[in-house]
Structure 1
Amino acid sequence: MCGICGLLSLDGATPPDPAQLRAMRDALAHRGPDGEGEHLAGPVALGARRLALVDVEHGDQPIANEDGAIQVVLNGEIYNHGVLRRGLQRAGHRFATRCDTEVLVHLYEEHGPAMVERLRGMFAFALWDGREGRLLLARDPFGIKPLLYAADGRRLAFASELKALLRLVDVPRDLDEDALATYLSVNAVPAPRTMLRAVRKLPAGHLLVAGNGTLRIERYAHGRPLPAEALRDGDEAALAAELRDRVRDSVRAHLRADVPVGVLLSGGVDSGLLAAIAAEETPGRLPTFTVGFAERSFDETVPAREVAERLGSDHHELVVEPGDAALLADVARSIDEPRGDATALPYWLAARYAGTRVKAVLSGEGGDELFAGYQTYTASRLGPAAARAAALAAPVVARLPSSSRRLSLDFRIRRLALGAGLDALERHHAFKEILSAEQRAAVAMPGRLGGADPLEVHRRLFAEAGDAEALARLQHVDAGTFLADDLLVQADRAGMAHGVEVRVPFLDPVVAELAWALPDRHKLRGGQTKRLLRLAAAPLLPRAIVDGPKRGFVPPAAAWLRGELEPVARDILGPETLRRHGILRPEAVTALLDRHAARREDLSRPIWALMALTLWRDAVLGAASGDRDPTPVSGVPSAP
């Protein structure tokens, strides 16, 4: 695990500045506290910070082939590097280390850019081919590891995090108005956009190839649900056993390290299954970590403790309290993008806590998207009739005090009502939407919102899976948006902020291949979500966990924002700050706060999203620009 960065002269006129490379690399020191390295030659400069997990003594980056013509820096893990290494050795390649990074240079010598199709892992890497004058950037199929870039006609700059690119003073800081509108709608900014017009994310499963004055981006991974006629059906018990074996194979791969590996344990079936298998595969006691809350309906410590006791793990618990919100600016600075979900705080604290004892943890991201774990999938099955019924009930519910409980009945009725008369994708989105189009227009300052469709990427993914079953199409949308550009961003940044690698075994080709081949009925039946995954976990976990509701590090944000956190929110979203930023209308934001505090509606999600945006503006963008409001730079194009 590392932080990587680099520069490439596209026009051939100006070689990279070593000082700029080192400034970018220094901004990534938290991602790699165990070492640093660089390669500068002609038009290219590569930099890396290293978190040493495999071949601790010999894996410093960049790593080169035998004659030094090919250089690579890697952020992530290649889980099939042993198999690849043996094949490459038979082909005559010589290795100097045991680390997975070295496999990349030799694999490239054999297969060129098509090498990425042979990799099993989570990765973002940069590879320089000095013979061809070609730079290859690649990102894994699910987007587990990040890679951002800024390009104009003369230079390409790339890095694992935005804060490194912002060390380059000539990268424009002006906001992408379309990205802002999308964020206020879906709580994230799907790739390729970022919140800045001049910076882009390399999308999951894509390559960027640059050199000799050219730059192109191409997709190499096309994982998605299978067409309905190609699905695997059959005996459910046999499929569950196969799934359990596949998850075990993935967990074994994700446990490989020369340092201890733990598990983030939420008390739900996803992380419980990972922990149960990891405990069987780990010599000694498996370290497990969970966070809880004083509010009983949100607290996960009791079910997590039950799992830990059954497994005999070395269990650690942390209780998160409203006072921990004092760290929200640190969270915003670490996550590097606006992360409007309240889970960001407890997840960041869990990663910090785990980092005091281990260097890597397994986490359950991807289980909900692959096996249909969200209540929104159940809601989508209710169809238009339920939405119309909810719309009839909504005026009555609106007159009642809003509950602060998790997924309360009034919240669900209001959300279902929003989907009345909409198609399947729109109904799915309505249940999760942060601010409607009218609310976005009311809350944003004039001229700040772009005209792009906030669901542009969602619609493309939904259409792409058009030959799959109905539920699978929604899962494909969530995997390509909410998972890739929200949950995995949080996992990567929270872990790396504390020198911890977060590994996600569900997002492994071995597991995903089966998940994408399952008929809808093996994932959602009646009101039960994740049916096959629960059956796979049944022999290993307590019955109450297997049959229990979805769990996660979700704080009682609605209650906090009506209690101890209300003055904190009003301070963060104070009129003076908002006027200085020039992004949000102070009076509209205050109205949201007032409506929530008066219990007229649960507006905790939009309030938290606006807090995250404001904190990001100060902690990331403000710090990079000397707290000057970003203004458009004429003549500088958006990144491609």
Structure 2
Amino acid sequence: MCGITGAVWNRPESSIGAERLRAMTDAIRHRGPDDEGFFSEGIRRDPAGDVPGVALGFRRLSIIDLAGARQPLCNEDQTKWMVFNGEVYNYLTLRRRLEGAGHRFRTDGDGETILHLYEDLGPECFSHLNGMFAVAIWDATRRRLVLARDRLGQKPLYYAVHKDRLLFGSELKCLAQVPGVLETIDPAAVDEFLTYQYVPHPNTIWKGVHKLPPGHVAVFQDGKIKIESYWDFHPEREQPIAKADAVERLRELLGDSVRLRLQSDVPLGAFLSGGIDSSLMVALAQQQRSDPIRTFSIGFPNKDFDETHYAQAVADRLQTKHTRFEVTPDGVDIIDKLVWHYDEPFGDSSAIPTWYLSELTRREVTVALSGDGGDELFAGYERYRALWLSRKINQCFPIHKLPGIGLVQRLPDSSRRRSVIRRGKRFLEAINQSACRRYLNWLQIFPESLRAELYADDFVQQLPGEDPFEFLHAAWQRTPGRDVVTRASMADLLTYIPCDLMTKVDVASMAHGLEVRQPMLDYRVVEFAASLPVQLKFRGRRGKLLLRDAFGKQIPANIWTRPKMGFGVPISAWFRDELKPMVHDLLLDSNARSLRFFRPEVVRQLVTQHETNQQNHAYRLWNLLILEKWLRRWAAEQPNKL
């Protein structure tokens, strides 16, 4: 697990010198505190013409082959160089095949496997990898740079084509070291951020700077970039299967996925929230170890947000070596840290507990397993049940026309985590829309109508014609003919998982030099879960049926039936208490940077409604506060540019 960066250029005046390369690499030192490496070569002539210049930088977090496997890596004749962030879990199988074909290995690490596989297969090699990765390969023979990202977007990769060169990095901080690259804020990205609480790929908050989409490869050659998908994924195809066969296959796949992710030459543990997914991952990991696995949970003084007693019950049942951390989140202190490390506006407030858990877990281990992905793959979210229920209701009668519905919308909100009123109001707001629009309504932070009120006239004029809805809709359209629960869960797989969940975990963990592995997101598990008939996963408003059929006895019975809590902090109360002065100082300031986008009277109205308990705008205020803080930290030098 590491950080990578670099550039390729075709003109001497666009070159990246040693000092600039070091600055780009040092910007991500936190991702790889153990080692560093560099490779650079200027433009040179050969009989076929100019060979572009190249610079590769690397920061290492040592996990496998601690003494060797330094990067950048090269092949035998030094015509191909690579930097690589992540883990390839099936590298031993691939290595044996490559050695049989005559390749010679100098290290025991997984990265060299990619390079030799590329020698044989070119960009097609990435479809053979099982892992999480961001890769850059300089192929001098073909005069091209090849970038690739894993199927689920577990590892990030940013790039920009700027002044006849391509720049890339694990974080935007790398590109920020090159003048003129992060220059102009994209208005469309601001609109997308307020919709989803993240900026969807391939966009970033900056014009001309992009995220390589998950499961894609980019080839930069002759000054042009070509991007293609390498993952042959077909979520529209449902495969009939008997429940007994599905149970057997799931046990086999998840067991093998956990086995592969237990490979490590450094201390390894697991996050244990006490929910179904993390508990199951710990149970499967403990089965394959002779010693107690280290498990970690995080608790909060506010009992509405603390589930560590469930985690302790699971740890006792599985006899793990369990550590419970308790923290009192400091909303004021944490915001600046999040804004610095996430690089672009990122408004998922569950980044806060993820940050604290990663920080504290890193004190004990270097690698941690996580249960991420179980809700999306096996229909665990309440919003899937809401979507199913709303479809059933709409088939019977138009509930939105019932007397008294308007009165429900005007009821005051509660700040409690599982407020029935808040959930009911969100359900009723979307009941009469199309399934995909209805789903977006439950996901989005600022609905379209509120964004229209919020945006200043000048900002509206700069927005493109595309609706942020199109990002979700494009994913929804990947599953024509399937049921609404499957369509929603597959849309989450293609949007929410890479853009929100994986971003949150990657940044929070790598900020502390911790590697997090997600067995549920093994692409074989993903493809299998996507192919299943919905009846095996979801029935009668209950989800995760197949998980329980396959692993029901592995964890305590009450874990399967407990209410889902998620992973959050009490930001609603914070805005009436410890964050109230910050909100007034920043969002209600006449010099607020975000007023280039927003109407001040609407921002003030949102603040007042929340503070007086008229409406719960906690997540909206959090996203506005994150955006304002981000503008002050990252865009201060361009106060007038959009």
> Alpha-carbon deviation of 1:525?
1.1
Q: Using a 3 Å threshold, how does the CA distance of structure 1 residues 447 and 256 change in structure 2: closer, same or farther?
A: farther
Counterpart of 2:370, as a letter, is: S
User: How big is each residue's C-alpha offset from its partner over 1:254-288, in whole Å with a ceiling of 9 and x where there is no partner?
Assistant: 11110011111111101110011112223422121
Are positions 1:407 and 2:418 aligned together? yes
Q: 2:468 aligns with which of 454, 460, 463?
A: 454
State the identity %. 39
Q: 1:301 aligns with which of 290, 301, 308?
A: 308
Q: Using a 3 Å threshold, how does the CA distance of structure 1 residues 276 and 600 change in structure 2: closer, same or farther?
A: same
The equivalent of 2:296 in structure 1 is: 289
> Alpha-carbon deviation of 1:469?
3.3
Q: Is the 8 A contact 1:10 1:211 kept in 2?
A: no
The equivalent of 2:36 in structure 1 is: 36
Counterpart of 1:395, as a letter, is: G
> Alpha-carbon deviation of 1:45?
0.7
Are positions 1:544 and 2:558 aligned together? yes
> Alpha-carbon deviation of 1:386?
4.1
Counterpart of 1:3, as a letter, is: G
Equivalent residue runs for 1:554-573 within 5 Å: 554-573=568-587
Equivalent residue runs for 1:474-553 within 5 Å: 474-553=488-567
Q: Is the 8 A contact 1:300 1:552 kept in 2?
A: no
The equivalent of 2:50 in structure 1 is: none
Counterpart of 1:285, as a letter, is: P
Q: Distance in 2 between matches of 1:12 and 1:523?
A: 57
The equivalent of 1:232 in structure 2 is: 240
The equivalent of 1:63 in structure 2 is: 73
Equivalent residue runs for 1:145-544 within 5 Å: 145-228=155-238, 231-235=239-243, 237-384=244-391, 386=393, 388-389=398-399, 392=402, 393-449=404-460, 450-451=463-464, 452-544=466-558
Q: Distance in 1 between matches of 2:36 and 2:501?
A: 28
Q: Distance in 1 between matches of 2:541 and 2:327?
A: 31
Q: Using a 3 Å threshold, how does the CA distance of structure 1 residues 500 and 577 change in structure 2: closer, same or farther?
A: farther
What SS is found at the alignment partner of 2:87? strand
Q: Is the 8 A contact 1:173 1:196 kept in 2?
A: yes
Q: Using a 3 Å threshold, how does the CA distance of structure 1 residues 108 and 20 change in structure 2: closer, same or farther?
A: same
The equivalent of 1:635 in structure 2 is: none
Q: Using a 3 Å threshold, how does the CA distance of structure 1 residues 630 and 360 change in structure 2: closer, same or farther?
A: farther
Q: Distance in 2 between matches of 1:439 and 1:127?
A: 45
- Structure 2: unaligned runs, 5 residues or longer: 43-52
What SS is found at the alignment partner of 1:71? strand
Q: Is the 8 A contact 2:331 2:579 kept in 1?
A: no
> Alpha-carbon deviation of 1:69?
0.9
Q: Using a 3 Å threshold, how does the CA distance of structure 1 residues 448 and 363 change in structure 2: closer, same or farther?
A: farther
Segment drifting more, 322-331 vs 474-483: 322-331
Counterpart of 2:444, as a letter, is: E
Q: Is the 8 A contact 1:384 1:422 kept in 2?
A: no
Q: Distance in 2 between matches of 1:124 and 1:254?
A: 17
User: How big is each residue's C-alpha offset from its partner over 1:333-382, in whole Å with a ceiling of 9 and x where there is no partner?
Assistant: 11222221221111111111111111111112211111111111101111
Q: Distance in 1 between matches of 2:328 and 2:599?
A: 30
The equivalent of 2:46 in structure 1 is: none
Q: Distance in 1 between matches of 2:453 and 2:484?
A: 34
Q: Distance in 2 between matches of 1:551 and 1:534?
A: 18
The equivalent of 2:15 in structure 1 is: 15
Segment drifting more, 243-252 vs 489-498: 243-252
Are positions 1:53 and 2:60 aligned together? no
Q: Distance in 1 between matches of 2:190 and 2:273?
A: 32
What SS is found at the alignment partner of 2:296? strand
RMSD: 1.9
> Alpha-carbon deviation of 1:142?
0.7
What SS is found at the alignment partner of 2:489? helix
Counterpart of 1:605, as a letter, is: Y
Q: Using a 3 Å threshold, how does the CA distance of structure 1 residues 391 and 2 change in structure 2: closer, same or farther?
A: farther
User: How big is each residue's C-alpha offset from its partner over 1:90-144, in whole Å with a ceiling of 9 and x where there is no partner?
Assistant: 0000000010010111101111111011111000000011111111000011111
> Alpha-carbon deviation of 1:575?
1.6
Counterpart of 1:532, as a letter, is: L
What SS is found at the alignment partner of 2:477? helix
Flag as ranges the 4+ runs of structure 1 deviating above 6 A. Answer: none
- Structure 1: unaligned runs, 5 residues or longer: 633-640
> Alpha-carbon deviation of 1:605?
1.3
Q: Is the 8 A contact 2:218 2:225 kept in 1?
A: yes
Q: Using a 3 Å threshold, how does the CA distance of structure 1 residues 177 and 222 change in structure 2: closer, same or farther?
A: farther
TM-score, structure 2 length as denominator?
Answer: 0.93
Q: Is the 8 A contact 2:390 2:431 kept in 1?
A: no
Are positions 1:90 and 2:97 aligned together? no
Q: Distance in 1 between matches of 2:62 and 2:602?
A: 48
Q: Is the 8 A contact 2:2 2:84 kept in 1?
A: yes
> Alpha-carbon deviation of 1:579?
4.5
Q: Using a 3 Å threshold, how does the CA distance of structure 1 residues 15 and 619 change in structure 2: closer, same or farther?
A: closer
What SS is found at the alignment partner of 1:490? helix
Q: Distance in 2 between matches of 1:597 and 1:223?
A: 47
Q: Is the 8 A contact 2:376 2:490 kept in 1?
A: yes
User: How big is each residue's C-alpha offset from its partner over 1:559-595, in whole Å with a ceiling of 9 and x where there is no partner?
Assistant: 3323333334333424245247633333322211111
Counterpart of 2:255, as a letter, is: R
What SS is found at the alignment partner of 2:7? strand
The equivalent of 2:113 in structure 1 is: 103
Q: Distance in 1 between matches of 2:321 and 2:577?
A: 35
Q: Using a 3 Å threshold, how does the CA distance of structure 1 residues 346 and 619 change in structure 2: closer, same or farther?
A: farther
Q: Using a 3 Å threshold, how does the CA distance of structure 1 residues 75 and 621 change in structure 2: closer, same or farther?
A: farther
Q: Distance in 1 between matches of 2:625 and 2:330?
A: 16
> Alpha-carbon deviation of 1:549?
2.6
Q: Distance in 2 between matches of 1:404 and 1:429?
A: 22
Counterpart of 2:526, as a letter, is: A
Q: Distance in 2 between matches of 1:322 and 1:3?
A: 28
Q: Using a 3 Å threshold, how does the CA distance of structure 1 residues 137 and 579 change in structure 2: closer, same or farther?
A: closer
Q: Is the 8 A contact 1:138 1:207 kept in 2?
A: yes
The equivalent of 1:609 in structure 2 is: 623
Q: Is the 8 A contact 1:534 1:547 kept in 2?
A: no
What SS is found at the alignment partner of 2:436? helix
Counterpart of 2:73, as a letter, is: I
Counterpart of 2:107, as a letter, is: T
> Alpha-carbon deviation of 1:171?
0.8
> Alpha-carbon deviation of 1:167?
1.2
Q: Using a 3 Å threshold, how does the CA distance of structure 1 residues 342 and 172 change in structure 2: closer, same or farther?
A: closer
Q: Is the 8 A contact 1:188 1:338 kept in 2?
A: yes
What SS is found at the alignment partner of 1:575? coil
Counterpart of 2:471, as a letter, is: V
Q: Distance in 2 between matches of 1:576 and 1:499?
A: 39
Q: Distance in 1 between matches of 2:189 and 2:41?
A: 36
Q: Distance in 1 between matches of 2:121 and 2:410?
A: 65
Q: Is the 8 A contact 1:390 1:414 kept in 2?
A: no
TM-score, structure 1 length as denominator?
Answer: 0.94
Q: Using a 3 Å threshold, how does the CA distance of structure 1 residues 10 and 470 change in structure 2: closer, same or farther?
A: farther
> Alpha-carbon deviation of 1:163?
1.3
Q: Distance in 2 between matches of 1:445 and 1:275?
A: 50
Counterpart of 1:189, as a letter, is: V
Q: Distance in 2 between matches of 1:92 and 1:494?
A: 41
